[in-house]
Amino acid sequence: MKTVGVSITRYAVREARRSVLRLSIAGFASLAVVAISASVFAYYQRLDYVARAVESNIESSLLVGDTFQLRRLAESLAKSDGVLAVSIFDSRSGKLIAQAGDTALTDRGRSERRRFGFMPTLSGGAVTLRHYIESSSERIGALEIICALPIGLLGGLLGVIVMVFIVVSYLIVAKAKKTALAVTTPTELFARELKSAANSGVLREISPEDLRFSELIGVQTAFKALLEKLATAREQEKQVIQEAVAGRIASKVRHDVKQALLASNAVAKRLEGRPEDKALMNASLQRIESTVNEIPKIKFGFSTKASLPDIAKISSPEIGIHLVVGLVEPVCAEFRALIADSKKSVDVDIEVSGDQMQLFVNVEAVRFRRMLVNLLANALDAIERVGKIHVEIAITDDSTVAIRIKDSGKGISAALLPKIGTPGFSHGKKNGSGLGLSSAFEYISEWHGDIKVSSIEGKGTTIDIVLPRATPHSSFLSSLVIPANSHVVILDDDPTVHQIWRARLLPEELKEVGVSVSWLFDGDEARVLVEQLKREGREFLILADYDLGHGRDSGLDVIRKLGVCDRSVVMSSNAEDVDLIRECRASAVPLVPKALQPYIPIQVA
């Protein structure tokens, strides 16, 4: 029987009523059969007594052939209470000798009948009783008495039985309902509390008097203990997740810091004042800083109400739109420095197909650089002494950008290729953890891209990354336009940045188009110079660092106070910062990442 969705109390009461109804019907039918049988049996006994009383008279009359006497006996019997018809037969001739009462009930067509039977009549029914008359053990005749059933008596008797069963059934149903409620009410109360506890994690304890039954009290005690264990387990699970996330971040931090420090040390050993070397060291140190900035999230990123999805987001920095070349070239330069300080002779080159200033992807910069460092490190490890690592950036179609990293290393066997990217799987490294490639697959998937690894053992490995192409934000500059016959103001507190600009803004070339340059380190100096340029009515362009490193004003503050937002560009190593982007957009000042400083095209118009 289907009981899903039915209240336990209603179900118990309904089943109790059904059981009582079945019992009542069975009892009523049984008593009715007994009553009818008892009535019929009483009639049978009475008729049998009458038949036996006149049997000797019928016998003597049959022997002498006194039909008159037989008719008088039949008429006398027919006048008895309840007798409908009487018939006397001669067994030797099979003829009806005498009959009285309702002669239509007499069946003349049959000479043999059962001793006792039932006959339907218009009034309901009749009982037929046949007695055989014998003389000297020979059957000489038969007496048949047809008696009406006592319908009135049976009706009254059945009425009394019905009334008794109605009363008894009502009492039984009331008792069954009371018993059912006594059993199901505590159960239903307990079920509601369990449902509430399943949602809230807290069980409101019900008193033993309300639960009544020892089984429910025992279940409540066991469930309360289970909830306490679950709460403890959740805390332990949270701690395990925290430790796992902390361990994962720590592994990545260790990997990135180690790689960046190697590059910085390699450059430091041969620093001779070259701007590109200083810029490379600066980029490596910035990567160390951005990686280490993730460490506080291990400690402060959790709350007592943190769930698993919340914890999973702890090490997921914000995604932004980035120029692919600006992400790839500094990492390649870092690896060139590493290789120069090693015993290997490996050429790392980068090829860009199309306009490099139009290749943007929507990724998280720190993770992208981490991924690229890991992939290049794997390629470098695969080359024993001499080889080449080729990085190619191209537009595959109007909607995607492809990045290919191809090395001439020892390659990977076809049997191992399906395992590449599996967490914990490492190939060709003595103490490898497999973290680099597995993280790459994870990152690319989060950025809605695709990554494929192909390799030929003994010839090298190729990694193809395809990412959706992104549209740069409105404040991005695809090229730096310097007005002809103008003055360029470089405002930055870092001498290395000045050296990079000096390498790009060659005086002899600018002089031909009437452009001059001032190299300033302080916002106050810039204010004095710009005010002078304004008084002279000269065209000018300010390239200002956002973080000047001293003073209270940023480069953007200096520009806004001078009122020259339309003739300025802000450079920042933290150009992905949402607040900084919003601030520059509000002031209508273009924002350029410092990583693009060596690559952004310069035009004079």
> Which of 93-102, 135-144, 202-211, 275-284 comes out lowest in average pLDDT?
275-284
CATH code of the domain in which 400 resides? 3.30.565.10
Angle between helices 8-64 and 151-200 (to 10 degrees): 160
Residue that terminates a domain, selected from 472, 488, 519: 472
Give yes or no: residues 312 and 327 share one domain: no
Q: Is residue 91 packed enough to be buried (19+ CB in 10 Å), middle (13-18) or exposed (0-12)?
A: middle
Give yes or no: residues 264 and 203 share one domain: no
Which residue segment(s) compose the domain that 240 sits in?
Answer: 223-316
- Partner residues linked to 375 by β-bridges: none
pLDDT of 293-347, one tens digit each? 555 544 444 444 444 444 444 445 577 788 888 788 888 888 887 787 777 888 9
In angstroms, the Cα distances linking 61 to 55, 68, 69, 139 are 10, 9, 7, 14
> Which of 13-17, 105-109, 358-362, 572-576 comes out lowest in average pLDDT?
105-109
Give yes or no: residues 440 and 567 share one domain: no
Give yes or no: residues 510 and 584 share one domain: yes
pLDDT of 346-403, one tens digit each? 899 988 876 777 788 999 888 898 889 889 988 888 888 889 999 999 887 778 999 9
Give yes or no: residues 569 and 429 share one domain: no
Residue that terminates a domain, selected from 212, 234, 268: 212
Q: What is the pTM of this model?
A: 0.48
Domain count, the chain: 4
Give yes or no: residues 599 and 563 share one domain: yes
Question: Region 522-539: what's the mean pLDDT?
Answer: 90
Q: Look at residue 218 and tell me if it is in a domain.
A: no
CATH code of the domain in which 99 resides? 3.30.450.20
Q: Look at residue 217 and tell me if it is in a domain.
A: no
Residue that terminates a domain, selected from 147, 179, 212: 212
Q: Say how many residues make up the chain.
A: 605
Q: If you write DSSP's letter for every residue of 324-359 in order, what string do you get?
A: HHHHHHHHHHHHHHHHHTSS-EEEEEEEE-S-GGG-
Give yes or no: residues 327 and 467 share one domain: yes
Whether the Cβ atoms of residue 383 and residue 408 lie closer than 8 Å to each other: yes
Measured between alpha carbons, how far is 301 from 539 in angstroms, rounded to an integer?
50
454, containing H or E segment: strand 450-456
